Amino acid sequence: AERKAELKEQIKQLLKDRNAVLVAHYYTDPEIQALAEETGGCVADSLEMARFGRDAEADTLIVAGVRFMGETSKILSPEKTVLMPNLEATCSLDLGCPIEEFSAFCDAHPDHTVVVYANTSAAVKARADWVVTSSIALEIVEHLDEQGKPIIWGPDRHLGSYIANKTGAEMLMWQGECIVHDEFSAQKLNDMKALYPDAAILVHPESPASVVDLADAVGSTSQLIKAAEDMPNQTFIVATDKGIFYKMQQLMPQKTFIEAPTAGNGATCKSCAHCPWMAMNGLQAIYNSLTEGVNDHEIHVDPALREKALIPLDRMLNFSA
């Protein structure tokens, strides 16, 4: 505990010295979220992180999240130094959507508008017409559907089916998934619901359709927090990464939040409702990013790629502005 307190103080000083801010996602560990709040950084969903990083008056951004978030920040702020506590922190959606294959898929359907989830590499974004995050995907696809153009959607098939069902849009789907949300079990959730009849069920749309079907509210991390604040229920069953409980408990100490059950248990599930890549953002790793050679931590995006990826990203940011 002493070492942690010391690390925190050192990080605070380093952030000041470097004119750096900490931009953290709701899935990072509670102490990282608390530190971001204490130091004038932000804790947010993917869309808000992108905006905050772009608008921050800082020389350096420490992105406590996963690689696509660091890349997005760099694309939006090429003049800033963007550091990640651990460059190995990736995402199963990004890993499951290699640019060569995705590009071939798009080439095979040239009449389609290409919409990609933010959870992708800079190269995949550069191949897209639109980038979306879970908080704005529905509105953007609705807007595109009104223009009557068929859509290529990648890479999250669960979020894709949710949106296709909601909007009726014609969507050709890439078959990727998030290893964290894919493990929530509808059957076990139903059993749990019987135990807590007054609880509302909050579900992130990266979860399977069978789980989404049981939801009282579906949305991005920020939208789920907002839903818990707006709903009269005292108890919530939450199907998303457990990192989100920090903010929910902080904002609503009088309410009770319960983890939705996963198909496996501690011994067999791959993630158990906590993303292994988000978990790489520890205090020591943040300290290292501010002290070690930048080569081990800095995000680079090829300038030609950056220029292309900026177009669909800006489209999203302007759409939601």
Q: What minimum distance in Å lies between the beta carbon of 285 and ligand 13P?
A: 17
Q: According to the binding rule CB under 6 A, does residue 113 interact with ligand 13P?
A: no
Q: According to the binding rule CB under 6 A, does residue 273 interact with ligand SF4?
A: no
Binding window for ligand SF4 (CB under 6 A); candidates: 7-15, 71-79, 90-98, 252-260: 90-98
Q: According to the binding rule CB under 6 A, does residue 118 interact with ligand SF4?
A: no
Q: Which of 186, 266, 194, 181 lies closest to 224 in space, CA to CA?
A: 181
Is the Cβ–Cβ distance between 24 and 65 less than 8 Å? yes
Alpha-carbon gap, residue 84 to 159, rounded angstroms: 26
Q: Lay out the site mask for ligand 13P across 176-215 (x = CB under 6 A, - = otherwise).
A: --x---------------------------x---------
167 is annotated as contributing to ligand binding:
no
Within 10 A of 22 (CB to CB), how many other CB atoms are there?
30
Is the Cβ–Cβ distance between 21 and 39 less than 8 Å? yes
Torsional sign, CA 43, 84, 31, 179: positive
Out of ligand SF4, ligand 13P, none, what residue 179 binds, judged by CB under 5 to 8 A for its kind, is ligand SF4
Alpha-carbon gap, residue 76 to 55, rounded angstroms: 9
Out of ligand 13P, ligand SF4, none, what residue 207 binds, judged by CB under 5 to 8 A for its kind, is none
Where are the alpha helices (H) located in 39-185, listed in sequence order? 46-55, 67-76, 92-95, 99-107, 122-126, 137-146, 157-167
Alpha-carbon gap, residue 201 to 211, rounded angstroms: 10
Q: According to the binding rule CB under 6 A, does residue 271 interact with ligand 13P?
A: no
- Of residues 21 through 40, those in contact with ligand 13P by CB under 6 A are none
Q: Which is nearer to ligand 13P, 65 or 282 (CB)?
A: 65
Q: According to the binding rule CB under 6 A, does residue 124 interact with ligand SF4?
A: no
Q: Which is nearer to ligand 13P, 204 or 297 (CB)?
A: 204
Known binding-site residue numbers for iminosuccinate: 25, 46, 117-119, 134, 204-206, 221
